[in-house]
């Protein structure tokens, strides 16, 4: 049974092309994926991300529990509303999921986890929460709309109660706060995103989601589908769970070493495995590839290097760059001249440091 978000009828009324995404009936585009991509880079677009799973954690030992559950250190979260990107790992150091943790009070933290991993994540979180007596509460009563682009914040702030304009305008990156939206609707506004542009991800009670979507549309925010969301996040150098990392890939191998906090005396799940991997030398690394000639880089294509073969993880045409880019996992060490096997033909590619695009412009060396 395919699940539907509360905005499903709205997408269909807009003529969206719908696809199954991790068991959810979601809009891939509303006509032109390329145009939707460009509008986010140049102005403001909005995505229905209500399929994401919001999980609230309550209890006196919640911080202690999260110190154990995730690889990044929640002790970095000192100010109410601050957010942290992190991975949950298994005992082998593989990634169970990547998620965002919001600090809302000493006894109240909020997690936002991926849709496709919902059942696995909830079981994992609940299993480990018991020892800390932490209450795990999924929030299916919430919808979520991501508003992204250089003009996104101004357009959202214009819809908020006047009393909230200045406060939300000053909200720092990776921080969240409550605000009043159109007709007084309660919003949880986070300055986060998955596009490489500035903007907000807004959690809203389901019964207000359609009204919020319509108000954003009236304010000149263009609907954008999951197709554009994928090319935007790839250009921005952001991983997709299940494609770029999974239960058998460690953060070291997914270019997520920056999310690991090996602070003294904190025994998080997977730590011993990560330390052993690091000591032995990580065998596989994740790199960016750019194809300067015509052609498309796709998931699963073989990548030929001086140290043996790797493979393309996420790969796509990048509309901002007008060429194909990809993430690839290849053997560690100097790769030499790298080629990709495209339908039996070895095509040369450049290995680059990503992100490929930041704030609407190609990064240096891309």
Pair (21, 85) in one structural domain: yes
Burial class (CB in 10 A: 0-12, 13-18, 19+), 313: buried
109-144 tens-digit pLDDT = 999 999 999 999 999 999 999 999 999 999 999 999
Tally the domains of the chain: 2
Pair (158, 197) in one structural domain: yes
217-263 tens-digit pLDDT = 999 999 999 999 999 999 999 999 999 999 999 999 999 999 999 99
Mean pLDDT score across all residues of the chain? 97
End residue of a domain, out of 196, 212, 228: 228
Please give the Cα distance from 50 to 144 (Å, whole number): 4
- Give the C-alpha distances (Å, rounded to integers) separating 214 from 40, 90, 110, 221: 18, 41, 27, 9
Q: Cβ distance 358 to 282 under 8 Å?
A: no
At which residue do the structure tokens 């760059």 appear? Answer: 321
Pair (221, 239) in one structural domain: no
End residue of a domain, out of 168, 203, 228: 228
Q: Cβ distance 173 to 359 under 8 Å?
A: no
Q: How wide is the angle at C-alpha 199 spanned by C-alphas 120 and 244, nearest 5°?
A: 35
311-339 tens-digit pLDDT = 999 999 999 999 999 999 999 999 999 99
Pair (18, 145) in one structural domain: yes
pLDDT tier for residue 363 given thresholds of 50, 70 and 90: very high
Pair (12, 36) in one structural domain: yes
257-312 tens-digit pLDDT = 999 999 999 999 999 999 999 999 999 999 999 999 999 999 999 999 999 999 99
Burial class (CB in 10 A: 0-12, 13-18, 19+), 320: buried
Does pLDDT of 152 surpass 80? yes
Please give the Cα distance from 251 to 94 (Å, whole number): 7
Range of the domain at 322: 235-362
DSSP-derived 3-state class of residue 350: strand
Q: How wide is the angle at C-alpha 322 spanned by C-alphas 317 and 327, nearest 5°?
A: 40
End residue of a domain, out of 228, 261, 277: 228
As a whole number, mean pLDDT of residues 145-166 equals 98
- Of all residues in the chain, the percent with pLDDT exceeding 70 is 100
Please enumerate in sequence order all residues whose Cβ is within 8 A of that of 132, keeping only pairs 6 or more positions apart, or say none.
59, 61, 62, 64, 65, 68
pLDDT of residue 312: 98
Pair (163, 66) in one structural domain: yes
Read off the pTM.
0.97
Pair (151, 290) in one structural domain: no
Binding residues for substrate: 201
pLDDT of residue 90: 98
Binding residues: 201
As a whole number, mean pLDDT of residues 197-211 equals 98
Pair (206, 254) in one structural domain: no
pLDDT of residue 1: 77
Pair (163, 282) in one structural domain: no
Does pLDDT of 74 surpass 80? yes
Pair (189, 263) in one structural domain: no
């Amino acid at each position: 049974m395919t699940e539907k978000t509360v905005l499903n009828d709205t997408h269909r009324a807009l003529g969206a092309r719908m696809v199954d995404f991790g068991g959810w009936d979601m809009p891939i585009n509303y006509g032109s994926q390329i145009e939707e991509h460009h509008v986010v880079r140049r102005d403001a677009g909005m995505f229905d991300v209500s399929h994401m799973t919001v999980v609230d954690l309550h209890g006196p030992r919640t911080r202690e529990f999260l110190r154990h559950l995730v690889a990044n250190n929640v002790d970095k979260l000192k100010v109410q509303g601050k957010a942290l990107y992190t991975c949950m790992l298994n005992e082998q150091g593989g990634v169970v999921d990547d998620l965002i943790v919001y600090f809302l009070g000493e006894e109240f933290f909020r997690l936002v986890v991926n849709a496709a991993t919902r059942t696995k994540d909830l079981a994992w979180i609940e299993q480990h929460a018991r020892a800390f007596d932490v209450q795990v509460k999924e929030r299916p009563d919430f919808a979520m709309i991501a508003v992204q682009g250089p003009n996104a914040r101004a357009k959202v702030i214009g819809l908020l109660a006047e009393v909230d304009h200045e406060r939300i305008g000053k909200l720092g990156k990776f921080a969240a706060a409550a605000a009043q939206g159109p007709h007084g609707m309660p919003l949880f506004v986070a300055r986060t995103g998955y596009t490489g542009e500035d903007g907000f991800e807004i959690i809203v009670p389901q019964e207000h989601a359609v009204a919020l979507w319509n108000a954003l549309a009236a304010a000149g925010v263009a609907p954008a589908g999951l197709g554009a969301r994928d090319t935007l996040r790839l250009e921005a150098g952001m991983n997709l769970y299940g494609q770029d990392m999974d239960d058998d890939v460690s953060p070291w191998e997914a270019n997520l070493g920056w999310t690991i906090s090996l602070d003294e005396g904190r025994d998080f799940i997977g730590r011993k495995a990560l330390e052993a991997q690091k000591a032995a030398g990580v065998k596989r690394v994740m790199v960016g590839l750019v194809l300067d000639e015509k052609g498309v880089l796709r998931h699963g294509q073989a990548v030929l290097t001086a140290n043996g073969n790797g493979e393309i993880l996420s790969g796509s045409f990048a509309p901002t760059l007008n060429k194909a880019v990809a993430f690839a996992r290849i053997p560690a060490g100097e790769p030499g001249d790298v080629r990709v096997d495209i339908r039996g033909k070895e095509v040369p590619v450049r290995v680059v440091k990503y992100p490929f695009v930041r704030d609407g412009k190609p990064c240096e060396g891309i």
